[in-house]
Structure 1
Amino acid sequence: MPDQRFIIEMGMGNDLHGMDYNKAARRAIEDAFRHSTLPLFGAIGIDHTEMRVQVTVGVQEPDKLNTTQLAELLPRGRASVTATHGGQNVTNPETGETLVIATAAVEAFLPNQSEKWSLND
């Protein structure tokens, strides 16, 4: 049976002065995973290595992201990062400086856990 998604968190990050896509992406990922906790692992005795984590990061220039390095940010599970076109570049008309805004979706998946749960009458 395929893995089941049990959590999805979204985050946003930016780099205001360096036009650094990796910095903005890192901040978006950190923003997303700081919004959640996963007590499920302790509650039913699942090892976090069973969890697969899929991160999708959107920036205007996805080819500038180091997805391997970004995957190393994830503290639990087997993580992979996919870069896609998204986010925003906003240019300051006074200075010509470009602000980079990244978005991230962090999804966690587990093998089906239905055999560990039962309904009581």
Structure 2
Amino acid sequence: MMALAASSPSCLLLPRPTKPTPPPLLPSTSSCRRPSCSLQRCRIRSRRAGSPAPAAGLARAVASSSPMEEATQPQSGGGGDGQQEAMKLLFVEMGVGYDQHGQDITAAAVRACRDAITSNSIPAFRSGSIPGVNTEQMKLQIKLGVPRPTQHLLDVERVKAVFPYGKIISFEVVDGGMICSSGVCLEAMGDKNDDCYIVNAAVYVGY
């Protein structure tokens, strides 16, 4: 029976019909269809359109940095021609000054300079320890640390008057000092608020 079933035509397996294979697509010669190519062209196009040339960007950076470099140069005073004179430095005096009432930044600067010079004696300029040098050859460089909001109120001439002798060849004001609360506001002493102004001074002495 098994032999007859195997030889029967009804048991034969027929091959399944296959779908016709479409013809292969020919490559287009007009443009590339790959996403990587279009993305690459987009990147190149955006870089050319929006990015400046390296040389032009460098030139603009150099031009924009020039005013800043000029603004950070220390200001000199007392030299006459605006150029700082050469000086042989002997020592540096440092002091601090306060104005607790009245909010006078110049008063704080004056006290800072007095604090720097009143606890020092300079006999070398009078005793002849330095041959050919006396008080007439003494040179001073003044540097003050003043809170920035008060710098425009500073009376430089009042501060310079503190020094009894010596030629001031430079006077520099930088950001420094402090504004803090004195804890009390006394209208009778000229207080507008309870601010206390603090100024730091460095006095460079030489010839």
SS of the equivalent of 1:30 reads: helix
- TM normalised by structure 2 equals 0.49
- Compute the RMSD of aligned alpha carbons: 1.7
Sequence identity (%): 28
Mapped partners of 1:29, 1:76: distance in 2: 13
Q: Which deviations, in whole Å up to 9, do the C-alpha atoms of 1:70-97 show, x marking residues without a partner?
A: 1121011112432221100002566551
- C-alpha offsets along residues 34-55 of structure 1, whole Å, 9 cap, x if unaligned? 1211110122262212111111
Which deviations, in whole Å up to 9, do the C-alpha atoms of 1:13-39 show, x marking residues without a partner? 100011100000000000000121111
Q: Is 2:150 aligned against 1:89? A: no
Distance change in 2, residues 1:85/1:76 (3 Å): same
The answer to which structure has the higher helix fraction is: 2
1:23-42 aligned at under 5 Å gives the runs 23-42=107-126
Q: Which residue of 2 aligns with 1:11?
A: 95
Can you give the 5+ residue segments of structure 2 that lack an aligned partner in the other structure? 1-85, 186-192
Partner of 1:21: 105
Q: Quote the residue 2:165 is aligned against.
A: 76
Alignment of 1:98 with 2:185, yes or no, is: no
Structure 2 counterpart SS, 1:38: coil
Cα distance in 2 between the residues matched to 1:5 and 1:40: 13
1:101-116 matched pairs, under 5 angstroms: 101-110=198-207
Higher Rg: 2
* Structure whose residues are more often strand by fraction: 1
- Is there any run of 5+ residues in structure 1 with no aligned partner, and where? 111-121
Spell out structure 1 runs of 4+ moving beyond 4 A: 92-96
Count residues in correspondence. 109
In the alignment, the residues of structure 1 paired with residue 206 and residue 126 of structure 2 have an alpha-carbon distance, to the nearest angstrom, of: 16
